[in-house]
Amino acid sequence: MDHHAHHAHHANGVVRRTAAACPGAGCERREASGLARRLAAPGSGLCEACRARLSLELTRLPALYEECGRLLGGSDQPREKVSGGPLPGLPFNVAASEARSTITGVLGAWAALVAQQRRLPAPPRTPVHLALFLVRHADWLAAHPAAGEVSQEIAQVTRRARRVVDPRTRRRVALGPCVEAGCDGTLVAVVSSDRPEQPAAITCDADAAHHWEGSQWLALSRRLRGTGGGAGTGAGTATGTGAAPGVVRTRWLSAADIARLWDMAPGSVYRHASQRGWRRLSRSGRTYYHEADVQETFDGRVRTTAG
């Protein structure tokens, strides 16, 4: 990581910035999904959400390193540990080994930068010690000229390790700004395309405590529209009428979407649609149902259960 050395002429590697677009990993994903980048926080190179994400991913990397270690016997899936080491005949898991080396290398390079420019003793070269060291200096890193690079590189190595540990295909869809008061994060839906029966999980990229299950998605989308967020549509939904900018469009949901969001069999969806007389839209041979009718049915079901 010698390409960061040219930043050393700044006092202690820290610069004062006027408010500018955040170069962090979270804002890069926001921009890729059509949302605007957030502004960097005062005195920092990252917005508050990307700064929080940096610490969160640094904290999680040692555990991902250990999980990759359990796969070194060759299995592509996490499995129960067995006594006596890897099973005979299993190939060496190259992806897991490379993910571990990358975690150590990336953490070590950034820790060396901090230690050199802050004139501190370097921590032991283990993922746990390196990550803890970087978390302690995360504010300094966020104010460094290379803040965007550290944010994106830590996010990249985290994603790579997660794909090794859990190779199921997942899609991350940015829904819009977090609806919780005072939160500057972005809500992201994580959908497992190879497990369509599993409800999507919706989590804030700045605060993991801001979390909603798939069955809460429709109600959450109304709050998103109230904040001016680009909630868009879920995977497989059909947007309705082509409304003018600023006008809320009707949302139509497929039976598969409803089954996934409410964790039920598709047959139950058709039964509810018939019994409750949901409005329908046919398009390209598929049937979609009006969001308001679906929401009214399941809001009623929740009230009945609660009563």
pLDDT > 70 fraction of the chain, expressed in percent and rounded: 64
Residue 261, C-beta contacts closer than 8 angstroms, at least 6 positions apart: 199, 200, 214, 215, 217, 218, 234, 253
In angstroms, what is the C-alpha Rg of the chain? 23
Q: Dump pLDDT digits (tens) for 88-146.
A: 444 567 888 899 999 999 999 999 999 999 999 999 999 999 999 999 999 999 999 99
275 alpha-carbon distance from chain centroid: 37
> What is the spatial order of strands in the sheet that 286-290 belongs to?
238-239, 251-254, 286-290, 280-283
- Give the per-residue pLDDT at 221: 64
Q: Is pLDDT above 60 for 264?
A: yes
Look at residue 84 in the predicted model and tell me its pLDDT. Answer: 39
pLDDT, residue 193, reads 57
38 vs 217, more confident: 38
Question: Of 171 and 286, which is predicted with more confidence?
Answer: 286
For residue 65, pLDDT over 90 is answered with: yes
For residue 239, pLDDT over 70 is answered with: no
Question: What span, in angstroms and rounded, lies between the C-alpha atoms of 203 and 206?
Answer: 9
Asked whether the predicted pLDDT for residue 83 surpasses 70, the reply is no
What does the pLDDT look like over 154-167, one tens digit per residue? 999 998 998 888 77
Asked if residues 76 and 167 have their Cβ atoms less than 8 Å apart, the reply is yes
Q: Of the ranges 61-65, 216-220, 240-244, which is most confident?
A: 61-65
Highest mean pLDDT among 86-90, 108-112, 244-248, 291-295: 108-112
Lateral strand order in the sheet of 170-177: 170-177, 186-192, 201-204, 211-212
Task: Please list, in sequence order, all residues whose beta carbon lies within 8 angstroms of the beta carbon of residue 12, skipping any fewer than 6 positions away.
Answer: 117, 118, 140
Could you tell me if 123 and 116 are in contact, meaning their C-beta atoms sit under 8 angstroms apart? no
Q: What CA–CA distance (Å, rounded) separates 107 from 62? A: 10
Euclidean distance between CA atoms 5 and 2, whole angstroms: 5
Give Cα separations from 264 to 23, 49, 180, 235, 270 (angstroms).
41, 34, 28, 17, 11
Each residue of 16-47: pLDDT tens digit?
A: 445 689 999 988 888 877 778 889 999 999 99
> Tokens at residue 262, please?
């409410």
Q: What is the pTM assigned to this prediction?
A: 0.55
For residue 3, the model assigns a pLDDT of 36
CA contacts within 13 A on the Cβ side of 297: 21
Mean pLDDT across the chain = 74
Residue 71: pLDDT over 50: yes
Nearest to 190, CA basis, from 204, 177, 178: 204
